[in-house]
A and B are shown apart, each in its own frame.
Chain A
């Protein structure tokens, strides 16, 4: 049998009104896609704002850290000036009232004036030396 002997015919059928409805179905689908994309962007916006705020904060800290530590000599000089402006009484007040001395306090101690001990240790140098010699060495700790 030859193909030419068979009439050319589409034997399949689509449901009635299928082609009337399909454009609407497709418009609904693409509109839903658009809305989903918009909702995603919109919902991601607060998260994006928080992330940007956090990032700005981190960058600010890094900037401040870098600019404050860019010249250690200037910073040291600035610290000495500040320390010099503190009166001895205020320094004593701070040392007596603070619970603990930290490493920073110990580090700046040599920079303070050396003779302030005379004001609060009511003893002569000879008396102090005698007390030191009599002290039990085992009680010393590092």
Chain B
């Protein structure tokens, strides 16, 4: 079902539940993996994914179709991730590096990670990036979003996003070379 049709069906009380169910089925994987790459832990990712879909339920009525539905959904998921990570730092008075170290430990300890050493090393390199730069890298590298789409989601200019991505790639390559 097309996004426009989904929204129209959601706005009709009689077909709201059906449309919402279809929307969750359509976007659950994109939302979950977007969040999971940011917070690493499955339980945290599950909580944030559910919160994202609850917010979609609460706010879809007010969604003005000036932007694409999936960029709007990505924006909600992105905000959930950023708020989660910053509240984690505030809660435990942790600087950026300590949160990265904690998440890196989760990568080492998780039995469900199926990657080889170089893949784990890439994830640890990513954790050294600031949150927003990591988001930009993930959306461009893993999700294959265009800079224009990422610009819609983050509200950052395309030029700034290109610079951010290339800087991130450079930092990652340096880390991989050194470790």
As a 0/1 sequence over residues 15 to 38 of chain A, the CB contacts with chain B under 8 angstroms (1 = contact) are 100110011011101110100000
- Count class of interface residues, chain A: 20 to 34
User: Does A130 reach chain B (CB closer than 8 Å)?
Assistant: no
- The residue that A22 contacts in the complex, of B28, B123, B177, with Cβ under 8 A, is B28
Chain A residues whose C-beta falls within 8 Å of the C-beta of B70 in the assembled complex? none
As a 0/1 sequence over residues 29 to 51 of chain A, the CB contacts with chain B under 8 angstroms (1 = contact) are 11101000000000000000000
- The residue that A23 contacts in the complex, of B24, B32, B176, with Cβ under 8 A, is B24
The answer to whether A11 and B42 have CB atoms under 8 Å apart is no
As a 0/1 sequence over residues 72 to 106 of chain B, the CB contacts with chain A under 8 angstroms (1 = contact) are 00000000000000000000000000000000000
The answer to whether A23 and B28 have CB atoms under 8 Å apart is yes
User: Does B36 reach chain A (CB closer than 8 Å)?
Assistant: yes
The answer to whether A23 and B115 have CB atoms under 8 Å apart is no
Chain A residues whose C-beta falls within 8 Å of the C-beta of B123 in the assembled complex? 11
Chain A residues whose C-beta falls within 8 Å of the C-beta of B113 in the assembled complex? 11-13
As a 0/1 sequence over residues 133 to 174 of chain B, the CB contacts with chain A under 8 angstroms (1 = contact) are 000000001100000000000000000000000000100110
Chain A residues whose C-beta falls within 8 Å of the C-beta of B173 in the assembled complex? 1-3
- The residue that A26 contacts in the complex, of B37, B53, B142, B177, with Cβ under 8 A, is B53
- The residue that B50 contacts in the complex, of A12, A29, A31, A33, with Cβ under 8 A, is A29
